[in-house]
Amino acid sequence: MSRLALALLLAAAPSLAAAPTSPAPAGGIDAPRGGPLSGAELDARTNEIGGLLRCPVCQGLSVADSPSSMARNMKAEVRDKLAAGYDREQILTYFERSYGEFVRLDPPMRGVNWLVWFGPVAVLVAGGGVVAWAIKRSARNSGAAQATDPGSVPSDLPSRDTLPADARLAEAVRRTRELAYDWPGGVPPKPRPLPS
Amino acid sequence: MIPMLGRALVLLALLAASGGALVGFATGARPTALGWLWARRLAYAFAAFMALANLLMEYALLSHDFSVSYVAHVGSRSVPTWVSMVSLWSSLEGSILFWGLVMGVYVAVATRQNRDKHPEYMPYAVGVWLACGAFFSFLLAGPAQPFATVPGPPLDGPGPNALLQNHFLMVIHPPFLYSGYVGMTIPFGLACAALLVGRLGHDFIRPLRNFLLLPWIFLTVAIVLGGWWAYEVLGWGGYWAWDPVENASFLPWLTATAALHSALLVERKGVLKAWTVTLVIGTYLLTILGTFMTRSGVFNSVHSFTQSAIGPTILVFLAAALIFAVVLLTLRVNALAPEGRLETGPSRDVVFLVQNLLFVLFTFTVLLGTVFPLVVEAARGVQMSVGRPYFDRMSVPIGVCLLFVMGVGPALPWGRATGRQFRCALLPPLFTAAALAVLGFVFGVRNPWTLLALFFGGFTAQVTVSELLLPVRQRMRSHGESFLEAFGQARQRGQRRFGAYIVHAGALLAIVAIAVSSTMGTSKEIQLRQGESTTLGAYSLTFVNAERVSEPHRESVLARMDVSKNGRPIGSLYPRMNQYESQREPIGTPAVRTSLTEDLYLSIHNIDPGSRTVGLLVLVNPMVGWIWIATAIMALGGLLALMPAWRGARVPVTERARVATASPEGSS
Amino acid sequence: MATAPLPDAPARASRVNPWVLGAGLAVVVPLLAVLVLNLGRDPHSIRSPLVGRAAPAFSLAPVGGGAPVSLASLRGRPVVINFWATWCVPCFEEHAALTASARTFGDVQFLGVVYEDDEARTKAFLADRGSSYPALLDPDGRTAIAYGVFGVPETFFIDGAGRIAEKFVGPLNRATIASLIAKAKGGGP
């Protein structure tokens, strides 16, 4: 059980590793840190970074997806910067300077933002613990009940030798047994002694 | 005249609901036949008044009576008739009126069906339903009045939002959505009744489960219809953007699915009663939260209705409902003691719990992401976004795990599994799993999560098919029936189980299709002059001409694109740009060519008939069509699972004897 | 069969379950708090992070041709930059106010930056309405992006040291222009 939880946690880890880390932008973005790109790779990276920027005039669409002219201008800006050799963080910081943290669709790890990254993991671990506890408690409870007081846990389900407590249900069970099993009165017949 | 009549009907609905709620709760505490009779009558009255109010509003819309405030808001003489009809639910106050209609119908049906059953629970249930009904009537009577009188009625109106006139899907998406969303009120009432009575008996879990399944089917279809609408109408090429309103419809679906599965454990073993009730209550609370998210104007969303006074009112109701739920659960949850026990070792029980955990985790994650910008604004005073990249990253591992669990669960037996049973159950499906993953690799899939989804998809597919056919094989062996005969008989006798596995089949197909379509698509943005061509994958597109089309409510420019695949011409597609009178920016309608393997998707970014150029976005999306097919399969499976309840399962005496003495068929 | 009432329900164990209470409050209280605190918030009005920071540099050509105007060359004087377009209805309203204020405040440099529009239409508009300060063209929208412009009209009030003292969203009137210029001259927020 805990192994399963650990497995799920490990599965989540690479996702967390991809969480962007960056302090709040202070000034300009200085010189390009990466190498210039071109061709198919440029297109691919432009789309990738465009997907991380929010189109400011649209409702929730990314710059890569939005057809509006502002989004296309921003995408062209991303492309130019990539071709000049700026890397992802620098480009995201550039837009963040102008539009604020609002423009980043992927929340960077900053301030209280850690909650949105670690919250789900915490719930997973806590939930796994609750599930394990629930199973243990269920086993313990029924074991204890059987040991101390067999009749204390009320049950609707009839056993072979008795009829249930509820009057209507008892009637239905009795009739079924009479018809289906040929048990008069709904009670199993006593085993006949073997002829000696 | 009509506004006054409408207001009167709404007021009468409010009175019926308030009175009925009081009578319901009083009868629950002190049961009497007369009390139950009046509770039922008031429930029917509420339903009738709501229905009449809706009919009246439809009449006003179709006859363009602009003295009614809602009609003046969204009506127009220049839109087609079907647009006038669906304007009922296109905008704020009208959609609440429609909510009232759907709630009335559900309450009436649920009350009538259970009028002489579960007498100790039903008055409480009706009381809860009508209390919710009273709130929505209050909204209609006060903050969100659709029937206000317009003093100087205008001669014409602006028509509903342009985006909503673009596509026929607008006709069916809201009714399905409301049938799902509002329908969650019924199981909520039943669950509260169980808590108020202090018992969740074997007999009562059945109606709870059935009335959870019915809205679930509608909600599943509605969520996917919303995605289809986004895909066909919005033009960005995707079907799910994790928009707050999309999430609002998804959250209750997640908890409802978890509740359906834990309800099965309640029925079989009498365990997890309190948990199931909590999930059902949580589902309803999420629908109220969802409606707050959609209507309050506090969330940044594609669907945002404009800000209005009803936001705070819904918030008050949400707070009251949350507090009521917490108090009720705190005081009563100990009464729902389990009757059986859960298996501790590897068994289906444990997998059910893991599945529930995953669904709750998913719900929490989506809710957290949606609400988080508000948290940060309150805490740091900074405006930030939580968008698609975050949600995609979180939901992919959870989705893949769910796919895995959907395969492992049905493969394992109910009791404690021995090592040998474990191996026999889990090893054979690995072959299909590996085969599908290898097939994907051969076709170019390199994304590790997609490969994993294919692997688990194959595993789950084999398990699902073998579980579906298990009773069939047993019948063929023990009764000597042919395959078709055995299939028919097994389906008829175990229709619930049959339907459930059909739903699983649909769900696994949907997950695999989503995984493939979101990672294996290709795209291209290009400016084309008249006569120019471009290629993407096997497709070759030529921009033939641009044509203007005039309709009463909009002016459109269509671009004719001739398409050929692998050199063979396959027809023309007509993406368009529509200019509505009331909007500055034109709104595009993409052209989509769906085939079983992939979609060719064309969306216009800019078009100039004068200079004969078009800026085009071309996408090739594999397996998208399968998502819609998979949803239809899930809905069909759900209906199959629901049907035996309505047929009333009357089995003749001789048949009963045969069933009782025969060996158990396909333990499920 | 259906009307006989069931025997009395078993005695209810109405102990308060502290775990449920705790979990319930842990979920309900923060959720309601967040929603209540955000009521009345307009998610579409985004505050600019540029206020108080150095104004982004630019060098743009004016409508009708001529030497490019650069922000750096205007250092030492307060500058008012108004982003506008001919298709924007509130921009008509504020055009007269801005034109008049530019004449009144001789020591302040007013600039208009045309946003997502074409040159011919802009020229016609200015010929029709008159202008007292240069209108600059921003063909790729790069300057608008650098200034974090969401739409038009948006106006930036920059002080003599080149810092953005205030950003105003929406149409201006003479009184507002005067007070914001005073703020820019006063130096600092």
Region C7-28 average pLDDT: 74
Residue A148 has pLDDT above 60, yes or no: no
Who wins on pLDDT, C125 or B259? B259
Residue of B nearest to C1 (CA): B116
Q: How far is CA B163 from CA B172, B247, B302, B399, in A?
A: 15, 20, 11, 31
- Using pLDDT thresholds of 50, 70 and 90, give the confidence band for residue B582: low
Is C138:C163 a contact under the CB 8 Å cutoff? no
pLDDT in tens, C58-80: 889 888 888 888 888 888 889 99
Question: What is the number of residues in chain B?
Answer: 668
Residues of chain C found within 8 Å of residue B334, distances taken between Cβ atoms: 13-15, 17
User: Where are any strands of DSSP class E within C28-169?
Assistant: 59-60, 69-70, 79-84, 109-114, 135-137, 154-158, 164-169
Region A51-63 average pLDDT: 87
pLDDT of residue B640: 92
Residue B44 has pLDDT above 90, yes or no: yes
- Residue B148's H or E segment, with its range, is none
Neighbors of chain B with 3 or more C-beta pairs under 8 Å: A, C
Who wins on pLDDT, C64 or A189? C64
Q: CA A54 from chain center: how many Å?
A: 24
Cβ neighbour number for residue C160 with a 10 Å cutoff:
17
pLDDT of residue B646: 56
Q: How far is CA B643 from CA B183, B495, B651, in A?
A: 17, 8, 15
Number of Cβ pairs < 8 A linking chain A and chain B:
161
Distance from CA of B148 to the nearest CA of A (A): 31
Residues of chain C found within 8 Å of residue A166, distances taken between Cβ atoms: 6-7
C35, B300: Cβ pair inside 8 Å?
no
Percent of chain B with pLDDT over 90: 55
SS3 B649: coil
Residues of chain A found within 8 Å of residue C148, distances taken between Cβ atoms: 56, 97-100
Residues of chain A found within 8 Å of residue C145, distances taken between Cβ atoms: 70, 73-74, 77, 95, 98
Residue of B nearest to A58 (CA): B302
Cβ neighbour number for residue B30 with a 10 Å cutoff:
9
Residue C24 has pLDDT above 70, yes or no: yes
Q: Does B662 touch chain A (CB under 8 A)?
A: no
Find the Cα–Cα–Cα–Cα dihedral B644, B645, B651, B656, rounded to 10°: 90
Region B34-44 average pLDDT: 95
Query: Which residue of B364, B375, B661 is in closest CB contact with A120?
Result: B364
**Rounded Cα gap, residues B479 and B472, in angstroms:** 10
B300, C32: Cβ pair inside 8 Å?
no
pLDDT of residue A2: 47
pLDDT of residue B356: 96
The DSSP secondary-structure symbol of A184 reads G
Q: Note whether residue C4 is domain-resident.
A: no
- Using pLDDT thresholds of 50, 70 and 90, give the confidence band for residue B655: very low
pLDDT of residue A22: 41
**Rounded to 5, what percent of chain A is helix, strand, coil?**
60, 5, 40
Residues of chain C found within 8 Å of residue B373, distances taken between Cβ atoms: 43
Mean pLDDT of chain B: 88
Which of B133-147, B225-239, C106-120, C175-189 is predicted least confidently? C175-189
Region B639-646 average pLDDT: 80
**Rounded Cα gap, residues C93 and C152, in angstroms:** 12
pLDDT of residue C22: 92
Q: Based on the structure, what is the number of domains in chain C?
A: 1
Cβ neighbour number for residue B325 with a 10 Å cutoff:
22
Query: Which residue of A73, A100, A101 is in closest CB contact with C145?
Result: A73
- Identify the top-confidence range among B267-281, B648-662, C56-70: B267-281
Q: ipTM more than 0.90?
A: no
Residues of chain B found within 8 Å of residue A138, distances taken between Cβ atoms: 271, 338, 341-342, 344
Q: Note whether residue C64 is domain-resident.
A: yes
**Rounded Cα gap, residues A121 and B583, in angstroms:** 44
Residues of chain B found within 8 Å of residue C44, distances taken between Cβ atoms: 300
Q: Which of residues 465-524 of B touch A (CB under 8 A)?
A: 523
- Using pLDDT thresholds of 50, 70 and 90, give the confidence band for residue C128: confident
B326, C3: Cβ pair inside 8 Å?
no
Residues of chain B found within 8 Å of residue C7, distances taken between Cβ atoms: none
pLDDT in tens, A74-115: 999 999 999 888 889 999 999 998 898 889 999 988 878 889
Q: Does C52 touch chain A (CB under 8 A)?
A: no
B376, A72: Cβ pair inside 8 Å?
no
Residue C132 has pLDDT above 90, yes or no: no
- Identify the top-confidence range among B66-80, B326-340, B396-410, B515-529: B396-410
pLDDT of residue B302: 61
Q: Which of residues 64-93 of C touch B (CB under 8 A)?
A: 87
C20, B326: Cβ pair inside 8 Å?
yes
Q: How far is CA B427 from CA B24, B80, B463, C32, C106, in A?
A: 54, 59, 10, 48, 85
Q: Note whether residue C24 is domain-resident.
A: no
**Rounded Cα gap, residues B129 and B186, in angstroms:** 7
Query: Which residue of B241, B353, B393 is in closest CB contact with A18?
Result: B393
A99, C148: Cβ pair inside 8 Å?
yes
Q: Which of residues 125-164 of C touch A (CB under 8 A)?
A: 140-142, 144-148, 150-151
Cβ neighbour number for residue B254 with a 10 Å cutoff:
24
**Rounded Cα gap, residues C98 and B560, in angstroms:** 46
B387, A119: Cβ pair inside 8 Å?
no
Residues of chain A found within 8 Å of residue C146, distances taken between Cβ atoms: 98
pLDDT of residue A25: 40
Which of B400-404, B662-666, C164-168, C180-184 is predicted least confidently? B662-666
What secondary structure, in 3-state letters, does B374-436 show? Answer: HHHHHHHCCCCCCCHHHHHHHHHHHHHHHHHHHHHHHHCCCCCCCHHHHHHHHCCHHHHHHHH
Distance from CA of A60 to the nearest CA of B (A): 6
- Is the C-alpha dihedral spanning B305, B307, B310, B316 positive or negative? positive
Residues of chain B found within 8 Å of residue C31, distances taken between Cβ atoms: 289, 322, 371
C43, B299: Cβ pair inside 8 Å?
yes
Instruction: For residue C63, give the CATH number of its domain.
Output: 3.40.30.10
C49, A76: Cβ pair inside 8 Å?
no
Q: Note whether residue C96 is domain-resident.
A: yes
Residue of A nearest to C10 (CA): A154
Region A145-167 average pLDDT: 56
Region B69-77 average pLDDT: 88
Residues of chain A found within 8 Å of residue C7, distances taken between Cβ atoms: 166-167
B339, A123: Cβ pair inside 8 Å?
no
**Rounded Cα gap, residues B305 and B667, in angstroms:** 50
In B182-338, where does DSSP find H-type helix?
185-197, 205-229, 244-269, 273-295, 310-332
**Rounded Cα gap, residues B469 and B487, in angstroms:** 8
Cβ neighbour number for residue C72 with a 10 Å cutoff:
9
pLDDT of residue B78: 80
pLDDT of residue B367: 96
Q: Note whether residue C93 is domain-resident.
A: yes
Number of Cβ pairs < 8 A linking chain A and chain C:
53
The DSSP secondary-structure symbol of B152 reads S
pLDDT in tens, B433-488: 999 999 999 998 899 999 999 999 999 999 999 999 988 888 888 888 888 888 88
B120, C5: Cβ pair inside 8 Å?
yes
pTM score above 0.95: no
Is B236:A61 a contact under the CB 8 Å cutoff? yes
SS3 B255: helix
Residues of chain A found within 8 Å of residue C10, distances taken between Cβ atoms: 154
- Residue B622's H or E segment, with its range, is strand B613-622
Is A74:A22 a contact under the CB 8 Å cutoff? no
β-partners of residue B43 are none
Who wins on pLDDT, A56 or B192? B192
pLDDT of residue A152: 42
pLDDT of residue B486: 84
pLDDT of residue B653: 44
Residue B95 has pLDDT above 80, yes or no: yes
What secondary structure, in 3-state letters, does B25-38 show? Answer: HHHHHCCCHHHHHH
Range of the domain at C111: 59-184
B354, A4: Cβ pair inside 8 Å?
yes
Distance from CA of A104 to the nearest CA of B (A): 6
SS3 B286: helix
In B572-652, where does DSSP find H-type helix?
624-647
Residues of chain B found within 8 Å of residue C8, distances taken between Cβ atoms: none
pLDDT of residue B110: 96
Count of alpha carbons within 13 Å of C84, Cβ hemisphere only? 27
Region B310-330 average pLDDT: 93
Q: Among A142, A120, A30, which residue's Cα sits nearest to residue B269?
A: A142
B297, C10: Cβ pair inside 8 Å?
no
Residue A145 has pLDDT above 80, yes or no: no
β-partners of residue B561 are B543, B573
pLDDT of residue B29: 92
Distance from CA of B581 to the nearest CA of C (A): 15
Distance from CA of B318 to the nearest CA of C (A): 9
Q: Which two tokens stand for residue B105?
A: 């119908």
Percent of chain B with pLDDT over 70: 94
Q: Among B433, B436, B410, B426, which residue's Cα sits nearest to residue B501?
A: B410
